[in-house]
Amino acid sequence: MERLRAVLDAAGATAVVPGDIRRQPWAEFLFVVPRGGLGAVKDATIGGFRSRPGTRRLPAGAVTEIHRIARAHGIALPAGTVPSTPAFVDR
């Protein structure tokens, strides 16, 4: 990871090596999958999800389920991840 970071830094890209490499994909998964998958099924953008009360709950429920699965696999996601993910989208 450090060699890859050095190459990316040398190319002018900022690269961050996460402290827990197993946790990072789950954190990304929490954000991307609910919006991408449900957006495709419901044919809605993030803005569309936010503006419809019926669909606004769907990504939040998916984030909660993904968080539970990560914990079951021993992945320690940061406290507050579930409420902070929809809040990030709202910002």
- What is the reported pLDDT for 9? 92
What is the secondary structure of 15-69 as a DSSP string?
A: ----SSTTHHHHHHHHHHHHHHHHHHHHT--HHHHHH-HHHHHHHHHHHHHHHHH
Report DSSP state, residue 78.
P
Joined tokens for residue 84: 């902070």
| pLDDT tens for each residue of the chain, 91 residues long | 889 989 999 999 988 888 888 888 888 888 888 878 877 877 878 787 777 777 777 778 888 899 999 999 999 887 788 888 777 777 7
- What is the reported pLDDT for 24? 84
- What is the reported pLDDT for 69? 93
- What is the reported pLDDT for 7? 93
- pTM tops 0.75, yes or no: no
